[in-house]
Structure formats: structure tokens, C-alpha cells
Structure 1
Amino acid sequence: MTDSLNASVVPPPLPALLTSAAEVDAWLASCGFFHMELTLDRIRHCLTALGLDVSHAPTVQVVGTNGKGSTACFLAHIAAAQGLQVGLFTSPHLLHPRERMVLVDDFGLEPIPAESWVDAANAVLQTPTGPSLTYFERTLAMALWWFREEEVDLIVLEAGLGGGGDATTAAPREMLLVAPIGLDHADVIGPSLSAIAADKARAVPKNGLVLAVPQDPRAIFRLERVAAARKAQLFEVRMPRGFDPDFGFYPLPDPLAGEGPAPLTLGLPGPHQTINARLAMAAWLVLASRHDWPLDAAASREGLTRTWLPGRLQHAPAVPGRYPAMLLDAAHNAPALAILEQALARPTRGFRRPEHLVFTCLKDKDLSAMTPLLARIVPGRCIVPELPGSSRSLPAAEVVARLRPAFGDRIQAGGSLADVLAGMASPGAPISTAPVLCCGSLYLLAEFFKLAPHLLGPWQADP
């Protein structure tokens, strides 16, 4: 009997250690890139086993429907310009999952190196729940482990999907930033704006601080109710008077700017980025005050101008025979397309308004709400390529059929993105100096970056 009992409590053997970055990539892929289970039990057990259930650096979580990635990057670059080393976690990646975890400091931005990638994966794999984590949970745990090893001063986490069930909510956080909330992923987190806002409000940290941009009253109501129940402070961050939404100029808050600050051009183009920058700047003011960090006006302005993310109104020069001049944007839902339409109504920074469109989207998107926006954004053709290897993507023929009432004979299905763009850049194609807009899905942008990985800039992970 004793031997039997002892045998029953012997822990299972630990998984074999991973020995290369390629093995880590395969380990991540083995659990399914799109597999989701919106519960915090597994990731909490993993973080506890790694000693990451307690804070090793001030941590800020960013939730929202659109703009959360930009907000997270603005905050990371503001802090880095002040001399801090920042661990930044974003998703999804475009070419390699190492893009999800980067260090940002005054010298720039660097994805996790291959050696640390292997060490972080093995640390997570050896925890009791490590083998059962989802793709997103694995990469988050790896990022937090690496940030602790690097002894970063600040951690900024962009939520993946929702709020209450998102794995980033399992991390100890002192501040929550709420970017604009709109209708998206309704089949997963809620069928209405109120339901979606309620889910994101579940990320409010107990006794923490919440900064939110102006929201729909239904969203603010949900945030206020949860913040009160959890004894968290909630503040709405409003735009200062006099900012120019057409050109993306952002006057710094008075505590930093002194008398009469000159407007600056943000590193991320588009009038909507002023809202994201304002939220990040407000967060920095609070963090700096709490932790006795610098509040240098010139450094903050430098951080705002340095901030850059691939696929945010990004211009790609033409490469004859491969692709025409492109305008790449991550807009992938109706609220984001409405923002894109406003940004393109008065294009700046030396590029023209796009004439043609390359578009596709995932099955969970509200294509009926996106259709009139797409038809207004471009006057020319719309070509819908196939997205390879994605069970979540709508077939090109279905997208064409659903968009045809708005586009008429201006729309057609294509093959791969590479073939579509090569045809548009061929010697016999109609000549146009206007760029081709590519939007609708980050996975569509990922296909483009396979053709031009150098356009990822500092986000490109080294081999």
C-alpha cells in the first residue's frame, strides 16, 4: 500500500529540453497558432512556477479594440528616451514570433535574440502547465521570463484579445490603459459594444490605476462600475485644446512642455495616433511621478517621434516586377477602416491617396459593416488574394461575392498576394503614381512582408 501511494505522487518526467531556435518555433507551432482558450488558470500556474506572479518591474497593460499596439509602443519609446530599459510585448507577429518580445532603450529596439529565445522556452516548458499552454500564453510567459532576466525597468504588455480572459491580465499590473473600444471579435468576447466593454473592464487591476481615452458612454459605464468594485482609480484622458487632428501634431502636456511648445510630428502617421500618443504620455506622467523617473520634455518629444510600428500607414516604394508602390495598414475591422478613411482624406508625409485596393479578411469580421467604407476609400479596383494556410480566412471568392454589390465590376479574386502584386507591377500594367492600399488583415500584411522583410526595420528578428 505504501509503495503504491508513493508511486502515485511521483511527478511525471520533465519534457526534453529544446536545443535550437527552430525547435522552439516548432514547439510553439505544435499547439496551434489560432487556438484560444480564454481562461487564466494555466498561465497563472505557469507564472507562479516561474516566480513571475509577483512584480519584478512596474507593469502596464494596454487593452482596446484599435490602437493598443500603437499606444504600447508610444509608451515604451517615451520611457526609453528618458533612459529606461523597457520590455515590450505585442501581438501578433508578422514574420517571426520573436517580434512579439522586444527590448526598447535609448539605442533603439531589439527583438529577443535566438539564445535567449531557447532559454525562455525551456524555462516555460519545464513548468507543470507549460506543455498545455496556448501559443499566446507560451509567448507571454517567455517574454515575462526574459524581461526579468534582462532586469528591465518597465514592462508594457499589449493584450491579445479581450481583457478579463486575456493572458496578459494574469501578470501583476499596476496600471491599465484603455484604447478605443469598438465592435470586433463579437463571436468570442461579446455580441454588443456593452458586452465587449464589460469583458475589457474585467482587466481592471484591484487597487490599480486605469487611464482611458474618451469612449462610448456604454463603455465608460462598464469601466466605471468595475473600477469602483475593485477600488481602482479611473481617469479619462482627453485631448488638449488646440491640437491639429489633420496633421497629427501633438502638443505635449503643460507639466512637460513649459511655455508655448512647438508642435511635433509623431513617429506614427495619422490623426488617430494623437489619441494613442496622448494616452501614452498621460501614463508616463503618472509612472514617472510614482517611481521618481525623469520628466524631461525634450526626451519625451524624442520618444514620440521615434515610435514606429510596421504596417501602420506604412509606405513601401515600388519594386518593378515584384510589387507596385504600396500603402500598408493594419485596419482590420469597421472602426479601424473608419479611422483609415479619415486619415486618407488628407494624406500627408509625401504620399498620395491610394487608387487601388488589395484586401481580404478573416471569417470573424463584420464584412457588411466594412463594405461601404472600403468602397469609399479607393476609387479604383479591388483585388482579393487568397491567404494560404489560414483556416480563419474567408475564401477570396466569398469576399468578392459579398463586396460586389458595392464595387461592381471593379472587384476580382486573385491568386497569392505575390502573384497579384507582381501582376500590378508588371511592365504591361497600367501606370499609376498612386500607391496600392493593402489592408483588412495583419495576416495579409504578413504575406507582403515575406516579399520585403527589410521593411520590418528594427522589428525583424535576426536569423
Structure 2
Amino acid sequence: MFQTMQQCTDFIFQLKASSYKGAPLESAQKILSALGHPEHKTKFIHFAGSNGKGSTLNATREILMAHGLKVGAFTSPHLERANERITINQQEISDKQFLHYANAVVQAVQDHLNGQFPSFFEIVTLIALQHFAHEKIDIALLETGIGGRLDVTNVITPEVSVITTISLEHTDMLGDTYALIAAEKAGIIKKGKPVVVGVENQEALKVIRQTALQQGAPLYLLHEAFHIERLQNGIFHYKEDSVIRHIQPAMEGAHQQNNAALAIKASQLILGHLQEDAVRTALQRAKWQGRFERFGQQLILDGAHNSEGTAALIQTLQQVEPTKKYHFLYAALQDKDHSVSIQMMERIATALYFTTIPMPRAASAQVLADQSEHFNKQVVEDWAHFLTEKLPQLAQDEVLIVTGSLYFIGEVRTFLKERGM
């Protein structure tokens, strides 16, 4: 059994892939049975999608909290410590609680799985489900890890499912077409339970429509069942049977307006009626760390970890900083298609800098740089030293964007906060 948080996280972090070789979700279901089925004691909203899950979940949380609900949230990845993944009304799970529930999982693994541990993500999901059940919350918001159909979070039956976007990511696990990936994400759609969808790719949408029809699940599609009217300065109207006017989300960019609209619809399906002022205030508060997050006037952190995310980042930059010269510092993991994102950045970049995350699965800076044909590219060995030197040197019309893997964003955020930047 774990005695300290350090001992616990050191052990579970190294559980990259399950040693349990049973049927999909079987290990989690055996453990949940041993724990008294905490997943049956909470109401849920389930979020899947290639991009925007976290931002949409966070906006939904703010809206529901603004209407007086006690809201749990399970998100990933964490940026600084594992406790960030499990919150109730934005209060992180304590070390004591985390250890208590982790040790309950360990006992169940020893008793029912012959000591064959599931993955890190599965264990943390099981910790979250116990915590939410024990604290008797009104609703929990769960973000999938990868995919949906076989993701461990899919042991729940949600009141509402949300699918944000579909892009070609994790193709080795989810399939190499929009239709195949959509089929995996659509696995969170449950019989008779409504699904809110922001997906625009037609190939993916066809699969989602078919799945919703097969499950008898009411489908609420952005730009079809509910709409956005975009105004100037990041303001929009939300339009359905009634209109919520002049919403200005804290998160910048058209894609964040889409995420906010999904959050409004998901919240309305839970609450029935929304208070307009509460919605406006909630979305003005709904900031999400590491997503177009500003540190001062000339540094932006954005975990654009695939080509769709990079496209949204660039669109937002050109909307809110149209006259600036863009310097990018990029680091990524090996399991992504970097070339498309790099080509997108090349088109608008004054300079491109590539570095390596201190992780086993990291793509090397040189490999990333070799995919770029930009005239002003550079490999950075020590990104911390680079940031310290580069930031004071930026001219007034220049901005530095740190982007790529969210793990990298987490490292940089910690560095900046430790130095009071």
C-alpha cells in the first residue's frame, strides 16, 4: 500500500500500458464491482473529441456552478501535479483522499486481478469515480483519454454526451480515417441519452449521426440545432429557441466560441432553464490553463498538439494579434503528425525554434527541425535558458508562442511560475 503521494505517483506514472490482458474495460469493471460500483452513484456528462474537450468541459463546469450545482471534473493531462485531474467545484482532491482511493484500487487489483495493474490513466479514473461518489456531488464532468468506445471513462452512463471535434490523431490506435476515428469517439453515445456535437467534418458527422440514430439518442448539432452569431471583439449571441446575447468568453478565438456554445447546450440539457446573466458571467470566468494562455503581453502558451489545434491557434493569433511578428517554440511527442503543424507555423512565422521535452516518448528537436524548411529555424537544447534570454529581447511588435505537447506546456508553466514571470 502507498504511504506517501510521491510513492503513489512514482508507481502509477510508470504504468504506461495495462499488464492486464482481459477484454476491453473488463479490468475497470472488475475493480468497480469490488469498490461497490461508485460509477452508479453519480450523474455524469461525458466529453470526447480530438480538440476542445478540456475547454468545453471547463466552460460547462463554470455554467453549472453559476447555477448552484456542486460539480466534479475529471480532466487530463495535468500540467503540474496529478491532483489537478480530479476536482470538485475547482478544488483539487487532497493528497490524503488521493492516497485513500488509490490504495482501495490497489487492494482490488490484488484481490481480483492477481496483481496485474491497469494503466495510469485507468487508475486515476477509478480514483476520481470513488471521490465523486463519496462527496455526493450533483454532477461529474468526465473527459475521455483517447477515443471513447474503449476508453476507461466509458464505464459510465452519462446524462449527456459531448463530442467536440474530430481530427486525424492517434491513428495507430483509433484508425486512419475520419470515419474510423469518429466511430471510436461516438462510442460514448448511450441509448436514449442526448449528444451535443461540434464536429464539422462531414465524413465524421455521418458516422455520429448513424450512431445517434441507432442508439435512439437525441442529436444536438452546432450550426443546426443551435447557432452562433459572431460579433466583433470576440462577442457572440447564442441562438436556439431563445437567445442569449452579448456573450464574451474569457477564452479567445472562434473555436472557443464554438466550445462555449457546446457548453451552453450541454448545461441547458441538464438544468432545463438557464439564467442569461449566470451564463455570461460563467463564460467570462472560464479560463483554461495552457490554451492560448497569456503571460504578460508577449508570451502565449498553447497546447496545440495536433494540426487542428495548430490551425485554431493560428486563426486566433491572426484575429487578436494581427500586426505582430510570430516566434514559435515547439516541442512534441513522437506519436503525432508534426509535419502538417510545422508547415502551418512556417507560413506565418518570423522564426521557428524546436526543442525536446524531457520525456521518453519525446520527439527530438533535430527530427522536428528537419521537417521544417523555414529560412529562420533553430534547434534549442535548453529551452529554459532560451526563454530567459529571448523574452527580454523581443521587440514591441513581436510575440513568442510556446506550443506543441501539453506536457511541454506544463513544464514551461511551472518554470515561469517559479520565476514569478
Same-fold call, TM cutoff 0.5 = yes
Q: 1:120 to 1:253 in 2, by over 3 A?
A: farther
- Is residue 2:415 matched to residue 1:446? no
User: Of 153, 167, 170, which residue of structure 2 is paired with 1:185?
Assistant: 170
Instruction: Call closer, same or farther: CA 1:94–1:420 in 2, change over 3 Å.
Output: same
Q: Distance in 2 between matches of 1:316 and 1:252?
A: 30
Gapped regions of structure 1 (runs ≥ 5): 1-16, 319-324, 457-463
Tell me which residue corresponds to 2:290.
311
2:47 match: 62
Unpaired segments ≥5 residues, structure 2: none
CA distance in 1, matches of 2:329, 2:17: 24
Residues 367 and 245 (structure 1 numbering): CA distance in 2 closer, same or farther, change over 3 Å? farther
The 8 Å contact of residues 79 and 410 in structure 2, kept in 1 or not, is answered as: yes
- Out of 387, 393, 404, the position equivalent to 2:357 is 387
Q: Which amino acid aligns with 1:413?
A: V
Q: What TM-score, normalized by structure 1, do the two folds share?
A: 0.83
Distance 1:250 1:431 in 2: 33
* Contact 2:163-2:199 within 8 A present in 1 as well: no
Task: Tell me the equivalent position of 1:224.
Answer: 209
1:341 and 2:324 aligned: no
SS at match of 1:452: helix
**Within-5 A mapping of 1:82-231:** 82-104=67-89, 109-127=90-108, 128-129=112-113, 132-231=117-216
Check the 8 A contact 1:237/1:282 in 2, yes or no.
Answer: no
Map of 1:229-308 to 2, 5 A cutoff?
A: 229-238=214-223, 243-244=229-230, 247-253=233-239, 262-289=245-272, 295-308=274-287
- Which structure is higher in strand share? 2
Match of 2:301 in 1: 328
Amino acid at match of 2:104: A
Task: Give 1:177 deviation, angstroms.
Answer: 0.4
Shift of the 123–241 alpha-carbon distance from structure 1 to 2, 3 Å rule, reads closer
Whether the 8 Å CA contact 1:201–1:226 is kept in 2: the answer is yes
Which stretch shifts more, 195-204 or 220-229? 220-229
What corresponds to 2:28 in structure 1?
43
Aligned mates of 1:392, 1:35 — CA distance in 2? 19
Alignment of 1:342-361 (within 5 A): 342-347=315-320, 353=324, 355-361=326-332
Contact kept, 8 Å, 1:354 with 1:437, in 2: the verdict is: no
Q: Secondary structure at the match of 1:251?
A: strand
Q: 2:333 matched to 1:366?
A: no
Q: Is the 8 A contact 2:19 2:118 kept in 1?
A: no
TM-superposed CA distance for 1:174, in Å, is: 2.5
* Secondary structure class of the residue paired with 1:263: strand
Q: Distance in 1 between matches of 2:232 and 2:25?
A: 41
**In the superposition, relative to structure 1, how do residues 241 and 288 fare at CA in structure 2: closer, same or farther (>3 Å)?**
closer
Which piece of structure 1 moves more, 218-227 or 244-253? 244-253
1:421 aligns with 2:384: no
Q: Percent same amino acid among aligned pairs? A: 26
Give the structure 2 partner of residue 321 of structure 1.
Answer: none
Q: Is the 8 A contact 1:213 1:236 kept in 2?
A: yes
1 CA distance for matches of 2:370 and 2:163? 36
Secondary structure of the 1:394 match is coil
The answer to whether the aligner puts 1:26 opposite 2:10 as a matched pair is yes
| Map of 1:459 onto structure 2 | none
Partners of 1:242 and 1:133 in 2: CA distance: 42
Structure 2 Cα separation of the partners of residues 198 and 266 of structure 1: 31
Structure 1 residues 286, 45: closer, same or farther in 2, change over 3 A? same
Given candidates 365, 368, 376, the residue that maps to 1:396 is 365
Aligned counterparts of 2:204 and 2:26: Cα–Cα separation in 1: 27
Per-residue CA distance 1:174-197 (angstroms, 9 max, x = gap): 221010111111122111111111
Q: Provide the alpha-carbon RMSD of the alignment.
A: 2.7
Whole-Å separation in 1 of the counterparts to 2:410 and 2:293: 13
Shift of 1:198: 1.3
Give a deviation string over 1:390-415, Cα, whole Å, max 9, x none: 22221111111111x2x12x011111
Max Rg structure: 1
Distance 1:54 1:333, change over 3 A: closer
Query: Is the CA contact 1:70–1:273 (under 8 Å) kept in the aligned structure 2?
Result: yes
Report the alpha carbon displacement of residue 119 of structure 1 after superposing the two structures with TM: 1.3
**Are the counterparts in 1 of residues 253 and 319 from structure 2 also a CA contact under 8 Å?**
no
**Structure 2 CA distance for partners of 1:214 and 1:207, relative to 1, 3 Å:** same
Q: 1:211, 1:242 → 2: CA distance?
A: 15
Contact preservation (8 Å) 1:53, 1:172: no
* 3-state SS of paired residue (1:435): strand
The Cα shift of 1:256 comes to: 6.5
Contact 1:248 1:273 in 2 (8 A): no
Distance (Å, rounded) in 2 between the aligned partners of 1:285 and 1:249: 20
What is the TM-score of this pair, normalised by structure 2?
Answer: 0.91
Give CA deviations for 1:343-370 in whole Å, capped at 9, x if unaligned.
111216xx97452110122222222222
How far is the alpha carbon of 1:250 from its aligned partner?
A: 3.0
Distance 1:354 1:81, change over 3 A: farther
Matched-pair contact (CA < 8 Å) for 1:269–1:312: no
Give the residue type in structure 2 aligned to 1:267: A
1:5 maps to what in 2? none
